Structure formats: C-alpha cells, structure tokens
C-alpha cells in the first residue's frame, strides 16, 4: 500500500485577487481525499501592485527593468502566503506544501514562465517543506511550462467514475481543457490552453469601473454586442495567436479593440468573443474523438458567469454538454489548488507532472524545486 501524505496546495491565478488554499491527503498516484478548502483575498495593496506591474510587462526585457519592484512584490506575496499557511494549517499536520506563486509573465514561444514566490522564505516562515517553481523543469525539457493540472484531472475523473472519455474545462484567467481517455494508471490524457477565460472581461471591468469582475455576467447581460468591434477582434486575434501553442498568457490578449464602448457593451462584446473562442476550440478538439455525446465538466471562476456559459453552449456542437463540476460535490473554485497539492506530492516522490501531450516536453518529467525545512 502506497504511503499517503497530507499536502497543502496554494494557488493564485491570473486574476491576481487572492489565494486558493486546499489541504488533501494523497499517495500522489491513485488516491486522494479532500480535507479543507479556503479562499484568502489579497490586501488591496498587493492586488493593485500585481495588476500595475503586469500592465507594465510585455516582454522579458521589461522583467529585467522592473527587477526591484518585482522583488518587493515577491516578498509581499510570500509573506501573505505565510499567513495563509499558518491560518489554514492550525491543528492540522502538513507534510508538504505546493506553492505555485503568482504568475507575472508567461510566454510559450520564448519558453519563459515567471512566478513570484520565494520558496525558501516561505519554508523559513512556516517551518514546512515547500515545493515551488513547478514549471521550470518542464521548460528545460522542451515544454511550455503549462498546463500542469492534467494528471490531477485524470485522478478526479477516475474517482468520480465518469464515463470516459470526458473533458474537463477550466475557465480561469486563461481557459484550458483536459481530455481524459483512460483511468488513472495510464497517462492517457491530453491537455492544452484554448484561449482567454476571464482575463479580457476582468480587465475591461477593472479599467472601466470600480469592480474587479463581472459577477454572474450581470453587466454583460445588460449590453449589446458591437458587431464591428467583434469582427475586428476575431481578425486581430486569429492573426496574432500562435495556433500551435499549448499555453497562453493574459498578455496574449488585450481589450484595446473595445475602447470607446460603454461598460455594458464592452462587457457583452468581450464575453461573446471569449465564448466564441472557447466554443470553437471545444468543437474542433472534441470532434477529433469518436463519441456520440461529450460531457464537459466546467471548473474555475468562469463557471459562475452564467451569461458566459450560455454563450459557450451556443458556440459548441450540439453533442457537447456543459455541466458544473460542483454537481458532483466538488467545489470548482479549488481544482487548481488541489492540483498543486497533488503535484507537490508527486514532486516529492519524483513522479512526472508534465507530459509531451500536455506541455510539449520531450518526455514525461517531474518538476518543482523542493525546499526541506
């Protein structure tokens, strides 16, 4: 019987609004059990600093220029994560922590993925073993550094005893899918980013209102799509995006084409555009696999935006059915944080966390830097 570990996963997504924290027990292979999930919202200062700096970074040269500001922000973020660890792990033994950090820049073509988070400092502050810098070994092995949650998606599909193949759609800042073909025990799955998730809608709302995001799609539901701007966006992004890329960054997309629209019309246009990209990608990728009807389990913050979800449904083939993963008793807000708790255990056991058919790496590769306290 494989040894089980209690692992804490810490995930701060591209929205940069806070930290999802999940404690699980797992053997890093075929078993996992949920223990606790909790969300911790960033202080206003950290939130603002993240987005101010992300707005200034367009290439790796910008990262070098902003080294001092990024170092200061990394310390802020790490100190915040330490508070998260100390609060969620009260009266709970933790064997290892999977610390994703805050992505500040990701470029699949340049093979660069930069996350802010000091694993050594977090280990000192929490007195725990830490796994961080998950993406770098994959990049060294020819991969793009993302997506990484695929192996956990397979375990979820196995434990839920889903009829395979099945598709898991994560709508975070960026949207990505995993197609699980076989149960845990084989590495028979594929994964890739498919376009924007919440990033365009969130950026528009932040720039044009005092809100952080369009809760439940209420703002977009009040607007009207601008057809001229919508068609310009489709042309712009079809020319700009590298269609062979397996991973994207929020910097691959921007809202400048919607400039001049009202808050509501801009939100509608961007939501329609996002839904169209997701729906088209789902249809193209799932139609390659012979299956009468496809079930797509949706997780991530975007699943709560019902206006977006309805638009995606209208953009997909009729044999594709979207369903929230929450319907299976799993909180869809914490899939990524659970995944990095799981990946931390796999890193500790030197098991692969990235694969040629997910990130494009040359061979299945372990990853993560382990800091032992």
Q: Please check whether residues 297 and 346 belong to one and the same domain.
A: no
Residue 241 has pLDDT above 60, yes or no: no
Nearest to 249 by CA among 179, 187, 309, 199: 199
Q: Please check whether residues 212 and 229 belong to one and the same domain.
A: yes
Looking at the chain, how many residues does it have?
Answer: 373
Q: Please check whether residues 344 and 313 belong to one and the same domain.
A: no
Q: Please check whether residues 165 and 283 belong to one and the same domain.
A: yes
pLDDT band at 299 (very low <50, low <70, confident <90, very high): very high
Q: What is residue 166's three-state secondary structure?
A: strand
pLDDT band at 242 (very low <50, low <70, confident <90, very high): low
What pLDDT was estimated at residue 83? 98
What pLDDT was estimated at residue 239? 59
Domains: count for the chain = 2
Mean of pLDDT values over 196-206: 94
What pLDDT was estimated at residue 105? 86
Packing angle, helices 335-348 and 150-159, rounded to 10: 110
What pLDDT was estimated at residue 234? 83
Residue 42 has pLDDT above 70, yes or no: yes
For the chain, helix, strand, coil in percent to 5 are 40, 25, 35
What pLDDT was estimated at residue 335? 97
CATH number at residue 343: 3.30.420.40
List, for residues 246-270, the tens digit of each pLDDT value: 777 777 777 888 899 999 999 999 9
Largest interatomic CA distance in the chain: 62
Q: For the sheet containing 189-196, what is the strand order? A: 189-196, 174-180, 166-171, 294-299, 320-324
153 in a structural domain = no
Q: Please check whether residues 48 and 175 belong to one and the same domain.
A: no
CA distances from 44 to 16, 18, 98 (A): 11, 10, 24
Q: Please check whether residues 74 and 106 belong to one and the same domain.
A: yes
12 in a structural domain = yes
- Chain CA centroid to CA 290, Å: 28
What pLDDT was estimated at residue 137? 93
Nearest to 201 by CA among 177, 183, 176, 218: 218
Distance CA 276, CA 273 (A): 5
Q: Please check whether residues 311 and 354 belong to one and the same domain.
A: no
Q: Please check whether residues 141 and 185 belong to one and the same domain.
A: no
What pLDDT was estimated at residue 186? 86
Q: How would you class 224 by CB atoms within 10 Å of its CB: exposed for 0-12, middle for 13-18, buried for 19 or more?
A: exposed
Beta bridge partners of 23: 8, 36
Beta bridge partners of 174: 196
Q: Please check whether residues 170 and 315 belong to one and the same domain.
A: yes
Residue 132 has pLDDT above 90, yes or no: yes
What pLDDT was estimated at residue 244? 65
156 in a structural domain = no
- Which H, E and C letters describe 169-217, residue by residue? EEECCEEEEEEECCCECECCEEEEEEEECCHHHHHHHHHHCCCCCCHHH
Q: Please check whether residues 241 and 351 belong to one and the same domain.
A: no
The DSSP bridge pattern shows strands 5-12 and 96-107 to be: parallel
What average pLDDT does the chain have?
93
154 in a structural domain = no
150 in a structural domain = no
Under a CB-based contact definition with an 8 Å cutoff, are residues 123 and 130 in contact? yes
The DSSP bridge pattern shows strands 174-180 and 166-171 to be: antiparallel
Residues spanned by the domain of 129: 5-145+334-371
Q: Please check whether residues 96 and 170 belong to one and the same domain.
A: no
List, for residues 142-155, the tens digit of each pLDDT value: 999 989 999 999 99
Under a CB-based contact definition with an 8 Å cutoff, are residues 118 and 74 in contact? yes
């Amino acid at each position: 019987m494989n040894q089980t570990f209690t692992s804490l996963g810490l995930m701060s997504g591209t929205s940069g609004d806070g930290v999802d924290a999940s404690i699980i027990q797992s053997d890093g292979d075929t078993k996992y059990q949920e223990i606790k999930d909790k969300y911790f919202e960033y202080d206003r200062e950290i939130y603002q600093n993240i987005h101010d700096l992300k707005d200034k970074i367009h290439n790796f040269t910008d990262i070098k220029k902003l080294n001092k500001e990024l170092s200061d922000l990394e310390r802020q973020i790490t100190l915040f994560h330490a508070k998260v660890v100390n609060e969620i792990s009260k009266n709970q033994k933790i064997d290892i922590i999977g610390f994703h950090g805050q992505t500040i820049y990701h470029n699949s073509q340049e093979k660069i993925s930069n996350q802010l988070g000091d694993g050594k400092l977090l280990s000192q502050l929490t007195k725990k073993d830490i796994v961080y810098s998950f993406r770098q070994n994959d990049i060294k092995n020819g991969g793009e550094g993302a997506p990484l949650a695929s192996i956990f998606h397979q375990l979820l599909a196995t434990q839920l005893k889903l009829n395979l193949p099945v598709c898991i759609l994560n709508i975070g800042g960026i949207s990505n899918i995993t197609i699980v073909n076989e149960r845990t025990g084989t590495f028979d799955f594929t994964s890739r980013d498919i376009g924007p998730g919440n990033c365009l809608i969130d950026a528009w709302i932040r720039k044009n209102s005092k809100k952080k995001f369009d809760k439940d799609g209420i703002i977009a539901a009040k607007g009207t799509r601008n057809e001229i701007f919508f068609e310009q966006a489709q042309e712009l992004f079809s020319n700009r995006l590298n269609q062979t890329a397996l991973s994207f960054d929020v910097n691959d997309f921007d809202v400048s084409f919607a400039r001049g629209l009202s808050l509501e019309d801009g939100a509608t246009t961007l939501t329609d555009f996002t839904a169209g990209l997701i729906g088209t990608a789902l249809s193209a990728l799932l139609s390659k696999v012979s299956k009468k009807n496809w079930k797509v389990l949706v997780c991530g913050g975007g699943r709560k935006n019902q206006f977006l979800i309805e638009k995606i449904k209208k953009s997909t083939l009729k044999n594709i059915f979207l369903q929230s993963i929450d319907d299976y008793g799993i909180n869809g807000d914490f899939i990524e944080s659970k995944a990095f708790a799981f990946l931390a255990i796999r890193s500790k056991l030197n098991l692969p966390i990235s694969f040629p058919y997910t990130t494009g790496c040359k061979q299945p590769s372990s990853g993560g830097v382990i800091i032992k306290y």
